[in-house]
């Protein structure tokens, strides 16, 4: 695992590098990932608009900011993602804002399809769901935990919808986007901050 993590970090992006990479691909009519299609490029384009909006509007609350600033251990937040992923577009900008609150938090992003072996280690119920945040000790690269692909409320919404209708269709995706819009990143901030605090206490 240590070698795998090290190799993944070598291929990782900062948030600004990740955003630039997606933008450059879109200029060529492409998306991230092994598979290329008009749909995936369309989703990537929509997601770029979403991320631009969230970069401007998402605010870390005073309470979360104070809690993050108290973290006194160096962490790497290694996030497995893709530019076409709607959940990633909603969540990665929040993670960037959180990491900016404390110099001991280093956000690094890797593309799922370019890091298949890493993704295989962090499946969700057997699926390659993203985004997936892998919490690492910055000094040793030891894996301390993981989070994702969605905050609990969003995950429950999708679970309930699938149980009721048997499929995740466009209507479900619209309802999910509404959930994110209403939540304003609060659930994500709370859950990730709690994970960080719990790990810091066990050092």
Quote helix, strand, coil % in the chain, to nearest 5.
60, 15, 30
DSSP 101-125: T-TTEEEEEEEGGG-HHHHHHT-BT
pLDDT in the model for residue 96: 98
Task: Give me the sheet containing 75-81, strands edge to edge.
Answer: 105-111, 75-81, 132-137, 143-147
Question: Which pLDDT tens digits describe the chain residue by residue (203 residues)?
Answer: 989 999 999 999 999 999 999 999 999 999 999 999 999 999 999 999 999 999 999 999 999 999 999 999 999 999 999 999 999 999 999 999 999 999 999 999 999 999 999 999 999 999 999 999 999 999 999 999 999 999 999 999 999 999 988 888 889 989 999 999 999 999 999 999 999 999 988 76
Tokens of 19: 């955003």
Strands (E), the chain: 75-81, 105-111, 132-137, 143-147
pLDDT in the model for residue 130: 98
Q: Which of 119, 186, 127 is nearest to 146 (CA)?
A: 119
pLDDT in the model for residue 203: 61
CATH second-level architecture of 2-201? 3-Layer(aba) Sandwich (3.40)
């Amino acid at each position: 695992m240590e070698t795998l993590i090290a190799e993944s970090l070598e291929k990782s992006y900062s948030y600004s590098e990740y955003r630039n990479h997606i933008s450059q691909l879109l200029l060529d009519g492409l998306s991230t990932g092994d598979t290329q299609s008009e749909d995936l490029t369309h989703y990537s384009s929509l997601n770029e608009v979403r991320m631009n909006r969230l970069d401007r509007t998402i605010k870390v609350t005073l309470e979360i900011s104070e809690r993050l600033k108290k973290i006194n251990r160096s962490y790497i937040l290694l996030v497995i993602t893709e530019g076409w992923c709607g959940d990633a577009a909603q969540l990665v900008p929040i993670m960037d804002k959180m990491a900016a609150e404390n110099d001991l938090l280093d956000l690094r992003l890797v593309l799922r399809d370019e890091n298949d072996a890493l993704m295989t280690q962090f499946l969700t119920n057997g699926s390659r769901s993203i985004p997936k945040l892998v919490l690492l000790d910055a000094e040793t690269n030891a894996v301390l935990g993981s989070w994702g692909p969605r905050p609990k409320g969003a995950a429950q919404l999708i679970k309930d919808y699938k149980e009721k209708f048997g499929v995740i269709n466009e209507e479900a995706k619209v309802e999910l986007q509404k959930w994110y819009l209403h939540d304003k990143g609060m659930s994500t901030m709370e859950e990730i901050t709690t994970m960080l605090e719990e790990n810091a206490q066990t050092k």
